[in-house]
A and B are shown apart, each in its own frame.
Chain A
Amino acid sequence: MKPTRLIIVAVGGQGNLLASRVIGEAALMADVPVRMSEIHGMAQRGGVVESSIVFGDAQSTIISDGEADVLVGFEPSETLRALNKCHPGTVVISNLAPLSPFTVTVGNGIYPELKVIQSLIRSKTAKLIAFNAESMAREAGNILSVNMVLLGALIQTGKIPLTRETVKEAIRTKTKKVFVETNLKAFELGFSTADSMA
């Protein structure tokens, strides 16, 4: 199986490690070769968190600049920051709900306009699917399920070798019981949103 490389970027606390875990467990269920890498520790204190997931015949667990086939950004400015990981054929999925970094609050830097972020990404990559995943998570009943919304959108693109059913099974069996229902709802909302934008 030809390698497919996926990068997920988020702000510490947005639940990208759980999203990666669900993807990994789904790959295990579907017998898809998978290797992943993530950064723990100091980077988690409100900083940027990045996971890389490589499917198929490759041994590396990390992804070099310009080599991600799919990029999922949990926060719009972080999606833009990770553009160096993309190539012209990359499919990008991004949340549009900003989490303004504290540097902006204290006047060190300006948060780029959402319109600018989207047009930049769109002009440089194959496709951008962008929407407010936070409001959808709220609609699903748990604001912390942004990760599942974006996971739904990711699976809809068909860009990674996992099916909707397998991922839902992974959510059912590998996320906390009390959240399974809202997680599945969030996943479906993300899936259908991406579908309607296709």
Chain B
Amino acid sequence: MVGEQGGTRRMLTGNAAAAWGARLARVEYIPAFPITPQTEIIESLAAWCAGGELAARFVTLDSEHSMITAAGAAAATGCRVFTATSSQGLLYGLEALWTVAGWRVPLVMVNVSRGLAAPITLEPDHNDILAARDSGCIQLHAETCQEVLDSVLLAYRVAEDPRVRLPVIVNMDGFYLSFTREPVEVPTPQQAADFLPEAQGEPEFRASRPLAQGVAVLQGALYSHFRYQMHLAQEAALAVHEEAAADFEQICGRRYGAVEAYRLEDAELVLVMAGSFATKARAAIDVLRSEGKRVGLLRLRMIRPWPAAAVAAALGHRRGVAVIDQNLSPGLGGILFQEVAATLARSARRPGVLRSFVGGLGGKDISLGEFRHVVDVLAAASDSEDLHGSELLFTEADWQQVQSLVQLAQFPETQAVPSDDGRSEVRR
């Protein structure tokens, strides 16, 4: 891969696609810190920086907290910055993420989703990226490796637009995209340059002109003003993304919306999902369609800003809508369900039934049978019944597996184990 130019269709992992996105964006500064399953992104970029394919300064930092701070500081000088992290790393850098978003600096970060500890896992779900939901960063969630690459390019257009000036996080699922190769069309350097010109604007920070960034505002009114400005900038990003997506289509031939519809035209029942597991939903929808069920998919690509109008337009008139969240807010349920429900509650037309499911936690498969279950629940539901909580997509086979492992880990034969009231007891 080293030494090659873009402009061909090739087999790329999501991680390699992210690195290509940064390379084609001609990024100038890459602060980095390794974490599985993201590390290959920075390994690729480091190799290109060393080999001369990419004229960027690559710096390893001591933590994600420093990394994000360095990314924000560099972006404030007007140079194009790329960085990447995942899971625990994202959370470790979370404080800095809020800070650099508040600085209103454009940078692009890829997050490779991985379930959060504890217990520890390496496989994906979206609790990591949704922990950054309210940071002020824009969020684009990719379904394919192609979309990872294209979204990095789109992200710079949105981040650097004077109406926006906010960090953008491009999210992909660990393993399911990060380590999975599939055919990816790599734009040519010329296409990338046509779509994404050099970073515009006079740098605010210069050594010869000291100024303060991220200042203290010890007045509620001033604080309110600046925070609400972030909100308005986020809202402006919806239109900016549309403009960028139209340009991208013209140059590269692929179109991306804030949401994506699959077989939605005449669908009575709609599944709502984000990320690479939407691919599994497509396959299930094809099977269910072949059985005569009018089912479709709405994929949430842009999570922040929240594309309320597009969501309401796509879902308002359906007989049933099920949000399958690949995340869990303990004590509440699926997170995106809350946002979809709130949008529909304010909308003039509401679907007959609305249900919440949680699936794919820690990378657990969502099988055809589980999608079938969701659709069966929707089909049988009536609007008069109470809204249930979030149902976990978890099969009897999953339960058998869990039971045997928990048994092995906790209750080995004739072993003394402390019971909850502190006394030891012998179990068989």
Q: Do A and B come from one complex?
A: no
Q: Which residues of B contact A (CB under 8 A)?
A: none
